[in-house]
Amino acid sequence: MLQIWVNLIPLCVSGIAWAHDAGLQQNTLQFDLTFDTDPQIGLSEEPWTSKYGAQNDLGYSGPLSFSHFNYKKCLEDASVPFDIGIIGFPFDTTTSFRPGARFGPYAIRSGSRRQSLGAGRGYTLAWGSSPSDYGSSLLDCGDVPISAYDNAKAIDQMEAAYSTLLSRPVFGGTSEVYKEKTRAFSLDGKEHPRIVTLGGDHTIVLPILRALHKVYGPVSVIHFDAHLDTWPPKGTTVQEGITHGSFFAVAAEEGLLTNTSIHAGIRCKMFGMEDIEHDDTVGFQVISTEDIDDYGIKKVIEKIRQRIGDKPVYLSLDIDVVDPGQAPATGTPEVGGWTTREVKRILRGLS
């Protein structure tokens, strides 16, 4: 059985802030917004409640959280434990072509509102179940306030945030169907939360792998992408060498990866076969985009499962694995990608 970690609001007003151009100084006015509630108010007798009941959010209304999940700023509030946490990494300052992925966490949450998983509407015929059927406690942990000016600091912030969430105690399930997933793989023999990260350019995986290594040791990676992302670091400084195209090579140099990782959906331009040869030294095998036409979805799934085996694995999905005709805003588009339906079928086959 594959064990996978993935990279897939009550609002509180506390003040008004003015951010200066450099983003380094902030003045905040604090307001006391605590109000006394009249104990004589009978909500059940008021016009709205007596006629219509609860103030339920619609798919297109309410505070923004992933699929209408409960929302907490988990990095500063540990009051709500969770089995699976969702965290946003709004970061895009190591891209080589088109930036904008910092808006990814917001866009993913906005697009997820139609699902209403937090309201129990998650059953699909394809899966024959709903995410809530598996008994895990789900929580949207908000976004990490990542520096947009200092990449070294930003990468450290992401590692610190991910490590913080990994160290939290799990909720332990919402029903008897819940099963522990991570205890068997963790170095300390404890159950740890699983984290779904919303990016963000693909460099976010490096600090995530660093955080996972502290808990699980080296892990394998299932990498859905049009690009290898294993090119050797280049540049005149250490930080310049860490980009969305080199982070896996850096991770391998740091001993964060096993030698049993795999790409899926590769179709990028390369310098030559030497890129594939170097990719092999980083620990990856390649499934190209065209392989799905030659061998079919089932064979693609079988190859991925065979490569990973029963080892702990991190799954990373770059939106550019999908054809740019369906995902045109991606930062590094490559024609001829998989369809969303094909990617969903493969993911289901890995479950």
Q: Give me the residue label for tokens 């993913």.
A: 108
Q: Report the CATH number that the domain containing residue 101 is assigned in CATH.
A: 3.40.800.10
Q: Are 189 and 244 found together in one domain?
A: no
Q: Give me the residue label for tokens 């540049």.
A: 235
Peptide bond into 15 cis (omega under 30): no
Q: What is the pLDDT of residue 117?
A: 79
Identify the three-state secondary structure at position 334.
Answer: coil
Q: At which of 217, 246, 266 does a domain end?
A: 217
Please state the pTM of the whole predicted model.
0.86
Q: Are 79 and 189 found together in one domain?
A: yes
Q: Are 91 and 132 found together in one domain?
A: yes
pLDDT exceeds cutoff 70 at 152 = yes
Q: What is the dihedral of CA 333, 252, 303, 194, to 10 degrees?
A: -80
Q: At which of 177, 193, 217 does a domain end?
A: 217
Q: Are 195 and 279 found together in one domain?
A: no
Q: Are 247 and 340 found together in one domain?
A: yes
Q: Are 191 and 244 found together in one domain?
A: no
φ, ψ (nearest 5 deg) of residue 322: -80, 145
Asked, for residue 167, whether it belongs to a domain, the answer is: yes
Domain extent for 73:
3-7+57-217
Domain count, the chain: 2
Q: How many CB atoms lie within 10 A of CB 85?
A: 27
Asked, for residue 43, whether it belongs to a domain, the answer is: no
What do you get for the CA distance between the two ends of the chain, in Å? 8
**Lowest mean per-residue pLDDT among 14-18, 220-224, 267-271, 324-328:** 14-18
Q: Are 173 and 234 found together in one domain?
A: no
Q: Give me the residue label for tokens 């205890």.
A: 183
**Lowest mean per-residue pLDDT among 58-62, 212-216, 303-307:** 58-62
Number of helices (H) and strands (E) in the chain: give both, helices first.
Answer: 9, 10
Asked, for residue 12, whether it belongs to a domain, the answer is: no
Cα angle 188, 219, 251; round to 5 = 115
Q: What is the pLDDT of residue 58?
A: 87
Q: Are 83 and 201 found together in one domain?
A: yes
Q: Are 261 and 125 found together in one domain?
A: no
Whether the Cβ atoms of residue 90 and residue 104 lie closer than 8 Å to each other: yes
* Residues annotated within a binding site: 202, 225, 227, 229, 318, 320
* Residues annotated within a binding site for Mn(2+): 202, 225, 227, 229, 318, 320
Q: Are 238 and 195 found together in one domain?
A: no
Q: CA 57 to CA 168: how far, in whole Å?
A: 29
How far, rounded to the nearest angstrom, does the alpha carbon of residue 128 sit from its chain's CA centroid? 24
Q: At which of 159, 184, 217 does a domain end?
A: 217
Q: Are 102 and 169 found together in one domain?
A: yes
